[in-house]
A and B are shown apart, each in its own frame.
Chain A
């Protein structure tokens, strides 16, 4: 129902706006979506094993097996993780009312890893679902702690907020590393902290589809997150239950982060750069931004994953490394750009 009224009103608005600045009409979004699909197809044909279009057309059984068991699941999970982590970043920014935060800079991801470590030590051989649930609870607790600390800071300095998050994340990561060291799990810990799609195989990634549902929920509640992003008093005036929206946001962000960390590993900075790029181009009306953030996020991670697989072929560089290398540079650029504008 919501979407039917949306489509009715959107053409008039975007039509008028198109003259002033690029604001992302449905047509542009379709083009961007097509680009992501093209990248996805390219991604399916990158790898050590020989999976080529002629081989597939010739009915080569080995090629088809690799295609369905490895290439398709990998590409799907890249798209899902890229999309969801970017949207989680956007929601986190609205909740913290700060553009420079995302799940891996406020302690969410670090808390999720701590959760997986705890369950790995306490219940060896715990199921993936058990790991994910524990990671989610820890992620939610860590994020809630960050938001509580934020409430207590009297001066909401733009740069202070991400610093607080990074410090909090640092403390949690230190605790995690200490116990991982004690229990001889440092290598395992690394696999959560550095996102890597090389282990994705059919039958072992399907839980990742949860994040697609969460992203959709984020889109459906987009207006509410935008209002929450304008502050508690602002939301209250509009009759919005601020605490309920914040709780919903906390659940979405924590679940997405936990699911991605358990299945893929952390992809730092993704939730930071993608929403900021979209915001610079299209503004912050979340209902309009979410589809763009999702498409940009998926495309960006696809590109990074393809680079990671080809740059020192036949070896792979984990996607987390590529994303953070590009992401940290872009983060710096965004910080400096903001300061310049302030004069």
Chain B
């Protein structure tokens, strides 16, 4: 369980995240939605100790992210940011292998190789395991990074805009994959996402933010309501039910 309590972040006089509290229960996908500048990524960064918080605390399975040793936390939770520009030239296998570092601390054991092979296999990357990451397409590269955090073998996966730069086909594949990770492997996935319809179709829980505050939280059916979305995005969004999914229509 992730417990966020009273978390705030300020830059100068501007409050980017303002006293946010929420529970994220184990299992399933939680999507954080909201307009630009709502503080979604900042909140995710603080939850994953990439960014110091000015107030509040975050615990993951009872471990306080601010004072738990980095290696221990890295075995519990993995975070993937949106811009993963590698300046070093690595093969896919080497990259995925780094996911095992929190477990072996620089001394790979036999079982680590099994985890790496499994992760490569799960993401359908085995055939290109020995290619350099910079030779891959955008979708393949994104999958290579997911494979790395999968090899990290953590209960919690935090992803900042994993659909960024992916076309429709790859975006759908990515969301299906995240669904499989939660359904088959029992992971808890938290992601920042812009597309409310992906959030609606694939999440178990949606957290909506606006101007640094958490304004709504609930199942997709509760959040995908015209008045709720109007409150979050300040535009009118018609909701249609298509094959059991609630889809927001906001293009015209």
Contacts and interface: CB of A to CB of B under 8 A. Distances in A.
A229 B74 contact: no
Contacts, number: 83
Summarize A's interface: helix, strand, loop or mixed. Answer: helix
A283 B50 CA distance: 28
Interface stretch (B83-91, B162-170, B182-190): B83-91
Given A98-B87, A226-B98, A285-B94, A239 B73 contact: yes
A223 interface: yes
Contacts of B50: 233, 236-237
A2 B108 CA distance: 8
Nearest to B74: A239
A19 to B, nearest CB: 9
B108 A5 contact: yes
Interface string B104-131: 0011111001000000000000000011
Interface stretch (A9-17, A34-42, A70-78, A172-180): A9-17
A18 B78 CA distance: 32
A20 B135 CA distance: 14
Contacts of B88: 94, 226, 229-230, 284
A215 to B, nearest CB: 17
A309 interface: no
Interface residues of B, number: 38
A283 B70 contact: no
A240 interface: yes
A156 B132 CA distance: 22
Contacts of A224: 106
Given A240-B70, A283-B89, A16 B130 contact: yes
A283 B99 contact: no
A285 B130 CA distance: 12
A16 B90 CA distance: 16
Contacts of A8: 110
B87 A239 contact: no
Contact of A285 (B70, B91, B102, B108): B91
Given A9-B108, A99-B87, A239 B71 contact: yes
A223 B106 contact: yes
Nearest to A228: B88
A236 B70 CA distance: 7
A17 B130 contact: yes
Nearest to A222: B106
Contacts of A234: 84
B48 interface: yes
Contact of A238 (B81, B86, B89, B99): B99
Nearest to A220: B106
Interface string A263-286: 000000000000000010001110
Contacts of A1: 107
B233 to A, nearest CB: 28
A5 B70 contact: no
B102 A238 contact: yes
B99 A284 contact: no
A339 to B, nearest CB: 16
B120 to A, nearest CB: 13
Interface string A86-99: 00000000100111
B31 interface: no
Nearest to B133: A283
Tell me which of B69, B73, B90, B93 has the highest count of chain A C-beta atoms within 10 A of its own C-beta: B90
A183 B109 CA distance: 59
A279 B74 contact: no
B144 interface: no
B102 A9 contact: no
Contacts of A240: 70, 101
B101 A239 contact: yes
Contacts of A229: 87-88
Contacts of A233: 50, 79, 81
B152 interface: yes
9 contacts: A5-B109, A9-B108, A20-B130, A233-B79, A234-B84, A236-B49, A237-B78, A241-B70, A284-B88
Given A17-B91, A238-B102, A240-B70, 14 more contacts: A9-B108, A9-B110, A20-B130, A99-B87, A230-B87, A237-B74, A237-B79, A237-B152, A238-B101, A239-B71, A239-B72, A241-B70, A279-B89, A284-B90
Interface of B: 48-50, 69-75, 78-81, 84, 86-91, 93-94, 98-99, 101-102, 106-110, 113, 130-132, 149, 152
Interface of A: 1-2, 5-6, 8-9, 13, 16-17, 20, 94, 97-99, 221, 223-224, 226-227, 229-230, 233-234, 236-241, 279, 283-285
